[in-house]
Amino acid sequence: MYALLAYLIIILCFVVLLAFIYGAVREVWRTHHPGERFWKQREKKERVQKAPKAIKEPKMKPVKERKAPREVPVRPQVNRARISAAPVPVAVSIQHTPLYKMIQPHITGDVEESSAERTKYSRDTSLFTKMPQLVVYPKDANDVSELVKAANGARAHGMNVSVTARSAGTDMSGGPLTDSIVAVFTKYMNKVIAVGTEGDHGYAVTEPGVFYRDFEKETLKQDFILPSYPASREICAMGGIVNNNSGGERTLEYGKTARYLEEVDVVLSDGTQTTFKALNARELAAKQQLPTLEGSIYKRMSALISTNAKTIEKARPHVTKNSAGYALWDIHDPKTGTFNLAKVICGAQGTLALVTKAKLSLVKPQKHRAMLIVFLTSLDPLPQVVKKVLPFNPESFESYDDHTLKLAVQFMPQMLSQMGLVRATRLGLSFIPEVGMAITGGIPKLILMAEFSDETAERALKRAEDARASLASMKLPTRIAKNEQAAEKYWIVRRESFALLRKNLKGLYASPFIDDFVVPPDTYPKFLPELNALLGKYDLIYTIAGHIGNGNFHIIPLMDVSKPESRKIILELAPKVYDIVLKYGGSTTGEHNDGIIRTPYLTQMFGQDMVSLFAETKRIFDPENIFNPGKKVGGTFEDIEKDMIRSM
């Protein structure tokens, strides 16, 4: 029996290794021969080799021609009527649109209007598509300023023009989509300007087009990280992290991006540049005296906050994560007496000002980690598991479901082919138990990951083991990953969960529309049965992942969006889900933000009085509605229906 098991393990090892080699070769081939299949290319080469060679003709000595006697040329009679002038080459003039002609002369960066370039920025990872008229790659903050001024000039000439900021385009809400001008920051404004230490913490100053993976490489050189990074850390950029008020796996302990945002350089809606940061009462009074748009913003926002303080505080979401609406409750800090407009820019999706630079505080990560993994065959024990584990203060408490794990096993070669041989082999072998689960049909319904960090490996492991012991009476399958290397495979599946769904399902589209709601974890026993009963009324395939420790669920239905009945479900089901979420004191979005998909639900969440304050905030910052219209304020259900994709 044991010998047979050993043989099976050896065979699985070879299968994993072969899968890696196959995946790596295929990825290299695709990179260097796009659109060509290997065997077709091979057949083509063989046909060329087998083709008969051309016969070389023998070399002949050239024969000298005798010179003919000189003749006197006779001038022929010319019929001038038949002579036509030789064609003169004419320069082809490129016909630019009126909007291009209005914008391009003011920009030192690039301005593009080709169909290919515009199509590239017509999608993000949401359910929507919008074709921009113009793509602008600003070189610096002055370019952004000139762009906004030129856009205002175009409006003065009767053009319906707006400006929408975009970094990496990983947004799931439709936030960076526009049918006007999109300003893309990743091409030029992609530098980490400074990383340093202030007091007991670090800080970094960054442009919005920096990819988080590159940002973290710089901060780790000084042993710091920004702990609010999202699961899309390998492909997202800093502009989106700030403008969505992102959170992620470490938010349970460290909080969201707004906690770390100290100041932002911005371009206002009239094209002027300024910096928003914490001001004391004297500094605020001085700002209010400025005879500029900036002065007006400070004066009117201060009045709005003080006049409506009770309404704003009552509307503050009572969950650990929220990206819905404008964070008016964070502008004035009663403890320090400071007034900081950077806090409302964070999470505003570029609807109030365009961020050109951000200063963020950083933390030193704990050096050691251990993970408790819990396997659930149904969702019934989930509330009790979370209740028992949370008192041990995990740094993160994440989850993913059986659909995600099956896809991870199925597409493991593609995932591993992007890694080095040694790491890929190690990870491939570590997935053998999961491959066995997939073969035998023993995949659990939900995998929970509670990670504990500490200054020593022993203390981190002890906390994980203590949490495991608290679950002993529940008799659940569990496992301990004693270090980060042992836990790596679980993180890969968790972080890649949405990408796996989005890229690899033929005929079905990963449809994020109830993808980010939050409820207090202590409401799970009542909330989850009601949610499951509602979802059970619809014939849906869906996946569950997310930040289970702070009640942030990512439910992604897999749908054929080309069918009208699927699009109908999207508009019908979302408000019903949000009714249950809000009944238990939750939020419609913890980190993915409002965008096109959730802006119409802000009244459902906050009520009309608060939505009116959001609209007034938008008018104070952006009276002409030039920045990313239809997001946060003014979005409608008709927009959802109109801009939804119709094909995959």
637, 574 contact by CB (below 8 A): no
Domain range summary for the chain, segments of one domain joined by +: 106-184, 192-362, 367-504
The amino acid present at 322, given as its one-letter code, is N
User: 106-184: which CATH topology?
Assistant: 3.30.43
Same CATH fold assignment for domains 192-362 and 367-504: no
Q: Is 75 buried (19+), middle (13-18) or exposed (0-12) by CB count in 10 A?
A: exposed
Specify the pTM. 0.83
| Residue listed under structure tokens 């905030």 | 617
Check residue 177 and give left, alpha or beta (phi > 0: left; psi -120 to 50: alpha): beta
> How far is Cα 189 from Cα 167, in angstroms, rounded to an integer?
9
- pLDDT lower than 50: segments of the chain: 1-10, 24-25, 27-29, 31-32, 34-86, 90-91
Q: Which residues contact 350 (CB under 8 A, 6 or more apart)?
A: 164, 165, 175, 176, 243, 627, 628, 631
Q: What pLDDT, on the 0 to 100 scale, is given for residue 541?
A: 85
Task: Out of 3.30.70.2190, 3.30.420.40, 3.40.50.300, 3.30.565.10, select the CATH number for domain 367-504.
Answer: 3.30.70.2190
Contact by Cβ (8 Å): 520, 383:
no
Residue 432's pLDDT is: 65
Secondary structure of 199-261 as H, E, C letters: CCEEEEEECCCCEHHHHHHHHHCCCCECCCCCCCCCCCEHHHHHHCCCCCCCHHHHCCHHHCE
What is the distance between the alpha carbons of residues 427 and 510, in angstroms, rounded to a whole number?
Answer: 26
Per-residue CA distances from 517 to 217, 575, 587 (Å)? 31, 12, 6
Residues 6+ apart with CB under 8 A from 546: 398, 399, 552, 553, 554
Q: Which amino acid is at 259?
A: R
* Separation between Cα atoms, residue 322 and residue 195, nearest integer Å: 28
Q: What span, in angstroms and rounded, lies between the C-alpha atoms of 135 and 106?
A: 14
Q: What is the pLDDT of residue 507?
A: 76
Q: Which CATH number fits domain 192-362: 3.30.465.10, 3.40.50.10880, 3.90.1150.10, 3.40.50.720?
A: 3.30.465.10
**Long-range CB contacts (< 8 A, 24+ apart) of 424-433?**
424/20, 424/24, 425/16, 425/17, 425/20, 426/485, 427/488, 427/489, 427/492, 428/16, 428/17, 428/19, 428/20, 429/13, 429/16, 430/486, 430/488, 430/489, 431/16, 431/489, 432/9, 432/12, 432/13, 432/16
In whole angstroms, how large is the CA radius of gyration of the chain? Answer: 30
Q: What is the dihedral of CA 430, 399, 535, 512, to 10 degrees?
A: -90
Dihedral (Cα; 621, 630, 577, 170), 10-degree rounding: -90
pLDDT at 149: 98
Burial 189-202 (b: 16+ CB within 10 A, else e): bbebeebeeeeeeb
* Number of Cβ atoms within 10 Å of the Cβ of 80: 5
